Amino acid sequence: MSLLKYESQLREPLVDGNKDYHQVTEDIIRPIEMKPSRLWYIGFAISIVLLCFGVYSVYREVTYGIGQWNLNKTIGWGWDITNFVWWIGIGHAGTLISAILLLFRQGWRTGVNRAAEAMTIFAVICAGQFPIWHMGRVWMAFFVMPYPNSRGPVWVNFNSPLLWDVFAISTYFTVSLLFWYSGLLPDLATVRDRAKTKFRKMFYGVASFGWSGSTKHWQRHESLALVLAGLSTPLVLSVHTIVSFDFATSIVPGWHTTIFPPYFVAGAIFSGFAMVQSLMIVVRKVLGLEDYITVGHIEAMNKVIVLTGSIVGCAYLTELFIAWYGQNPYEWFAFKENRANLFSPYGWSYWLMMFCNVVSPQLFWSRKLRRNITVTFFMSIIVNIGMWYERFVIIVTSVYRDYLPSSWSTYYSPSIWEIGFYLGTFGLFFFCFFLFAKYFPVIAVAEIKAILKTSGENYKVKMTDIEKADAEKFYIEEVEHGH
């Protein structure tokens, strides 16, 4: 098998520093066995504070009602649904990395997949909060489940996209959790077998389900991972498609478009990768994992960002063109007056979105900038802001002026409790992520070992320092600046 595959000597190894198997274990598991750093405690404390603020905001909302938020009769969906779609979108990168890149046999996924999958799960938990608490009478949330009841039984409406969402999000969460945890089992067993303290032996012993590393078990494990990847791939596409159906199946101008499903999926992957970048750049630095999450990984993800960012850009322009071409006066008004007109009340948000999502990622056509960590980190934040604004633009600018000018809304800005709820989900997300980074291996140890000796062998053997420098120079001079 290996004879049929030739790897170019220019292809850099996925793991730097000529590691052996034991070193891989050491490097990735050591942070779990050490006391967390001061930085960890500070970060954890901040996330708890944010979480408490969020809990109090939700308490206000539950006690006094949705009126605590600045929503009104015209703008029924505001920050809450914006945040919902934003968080769900962020989650999608984890599934893309772990499932779609597995099917495409992309070796570099192994450096980031575990943390990205964890990010998916935490992001979906955060996303789920918004529709649940937006129900107002949250104690009746179980009404969305089809169960035999004493009211007829009146069933839920299976023809409604909002119900599809319930099924899509809960399935997505369950499947992601199973995928993530089944992948974690062997790594938790590694931690268990190294454990020195009583607590760690107990905790990782229970958590690793008695994994032994038997060949037969690995064979089943591989089969399971492949099928779950095959299931997650259409699942992740379906989830954001269904989220976009929440809008696209309505007749609200600005929402009623067929381009939404692919456009939402591309946007989700775009924002998700930006979030992976923000997290991983910090994680690799703090935990000293630069050899595993290399500049090559960051570059690969930046390529995905520039691709999906450009798809999103195309979608924006297509949508705008069709709004004009379709000759529906309401649709065109929504785009021309509510969005594209910079001097309309929310025009600024449309252009901010355009700048963050379409213009700024184009920087990544340059190899030098793709491989620059500071630029990448900065860009990842910009993209996340841009993608938040995309959802805000779609939701608020479509509804604030409807068919009847007399019911046009005055300017909507969120109340402190709406903002608090959003900040609270950040607290929840980072609370989970900090615990994950402390108690679980942030990199898939077994998967790294499996690619350790099969990636970049020719590079290690054949590339001398002079040739490496030459190759770098060649890229900069010939590829970047043309001939």
Partner 1 sequence: MAGGIKKFVVGCFDDEKTLFPAVKNVRKAGYKIHDVYTPFPVHGLDHAMGIRETSLHTAGFIYAITGTTTALSFISWIFVKDWPLNIGGKPHFALPAWIPITFELTVLFSAVGMVLTFCYLCQLAPFVKKHHFHPRATDDLFVMAIECTDKTNDAEVQAFLQNAGAIEINVQNAETGWWIGRYDREQKLYKEEKGY
Using CA of residue 406, residue 411, residue 417, residue 418, what is the dihedral sign?
positive
Among 63, 159, 374, 464, interactor with partner 1 by CB under 8 A: 159
**What is the total count of residues that contact partner 1 (CB under 8 A)?**
70
| Least distance CB 110 / partner 1 (angstroms) | 10
| Least distance CB 163 / partner 1 (angstroms) | 7
Tokens of 370: 């793709």
Does 296 interact with partner 1 (rule: CB under 8 A)?
no
Among 42, 226, 317, 479, interactor with partner 1 by CB under 8 A: 226
Q: Are 219 and 226 in contact (CB under 8 A)?
A: no
Q: Are 66 and 57 in contact (CB under 8 A)?
A: no
Fill in the DSSP letter of residue 74.
S
Among 8, 17, 20, 288, interactor with partner 1 by CB under 8 A: 20
Does 360 interact with partner 1 (rule: CB under 8 A)?
no
How far is residue 57's CA from residue 452's CA, in Å, rounded to a whole number? 48
How far is residue 89's CA from residue 92's CA, in Å, rounded to a whole number? 5
Does 25 interact with partner 1 (rule: CB under 8 A)?
yes
318 closest CA partner among 258, 228, 374: 258
- Binding segment (CB under 8 A) for partner 1, from list 82-90, 114-122, 237-245, 269-277: 237-245
Does 458 interact with partner 1 (rule: CB under 8 A)?
no
Does 163 interact with partner 1 (rule: CB under 8 A)?
yes
Does 178 interact with partner 1 (rule: CB under 8 A)?
yes
55 closest CA partner among 166, 134, 129, 142: 129
Question: Looking at beta carbons only, is 207 or 375 nearer to partner 1?
Answer: 207
Q: Are 395 and 77 in contact (CB under 8 A)?
A: yes
For Cα atoms 43, 435, 222, give the angle at the middle one, nearest 5 degrees: 135
Tokens of 298: 């960051």
Does 186 interact with partner 1 (rule: CB under 8 A)?
yes
Does 162 interact with partner 1 (rule: CB under 8 A)?
no
Question: Looking at beta carbons only, is 181 or 355 nearer to partner 1?
Answer: 181
How far is residue 399's CA from residue 252's CA, in Å, rounded to a whole number? 7
Find how far residue 461's CA is from the centre of its chain: 37
Does 88 interact with partner 1 (rule: CB under 8 A)?
no
Helical ranges in 400-464 per DSSP H = 416-439, 445-452, 457-462
120 closest CA partner among 178, 194, 65: 178
Does 217 interact with partner 1 (rule: CB under 8 A)?
yes
| Least distance CB 353 / partner 1 (angstroms) | 28
CA neighbours within 13 Å on the CB side: how many for 250? Answer: 15
State how far the alpha carbon of 51 is from the alpha carbons of 58, 275, 432, in Å: 10, 19, 11
Question: Looking at beta carbons only, is 133 or 180 nearer to partner 1?
Answer: 180
Question: Looking at beta carbons only, is 31 or 54 nearer to partner 1?
Answer: 31
Question: Looking at beta carbons only, is 159 or 327 nearer to partner 1?
Answer: 159
Tokens of 314: 């195309």
- CB neighbour list of residue 135: distance below 8 Å, 6 or more residues apart: 141
Question: Looking at beta carbons only, is 33 or 222 nearer to partner 1?
Answer: 222
The interaxial angle of helices 416-439 and 109-134, nearest 10 deg, is: 150
- Binding segment (CB under 8 A) for partner 1, from list 233-241, 361-369, 380-388, 468-476: 233-241
Question: Looking at beta carbons only, is 275 or 445 nearer to partner 1?
Answer: 445
Does 18 interact with partner 1 (rule: CB under 8 A)?
no
Among 119, 265, 382, 446, interactor with partner 1 by CB under 8 A: 446
| Least distance CB 9 / partner 1 (angstroms) | 22
What are residue 212's phi and psi, to 5 degrees? -115, -20
How far is residue 74's CA from residue 407's CA, in Å, rounded to a whole number? 7
Among 220, 285, 462, 473, interactor with partner 1 by CB under 8 A: 220
Does 167 interact with partner 1 (rule: CB under 8 A)?
yes
Does 407 interact with partner 1 (rule: CB under 8 A)?
no
Query: Site residues (CB under 8 A) for partner 1?
Result: 1, 20-22, 25, 146, 152-155, 157-159, 161, 163-164, 167-168, 171, 174-175, 178-179, 182, 185-186, 189-190, 192-195, 198-199, 201-202, 204-207, 209-224, 226-228, 231, 234-235, 238, 242, 245, 446-447, 449-450, 453
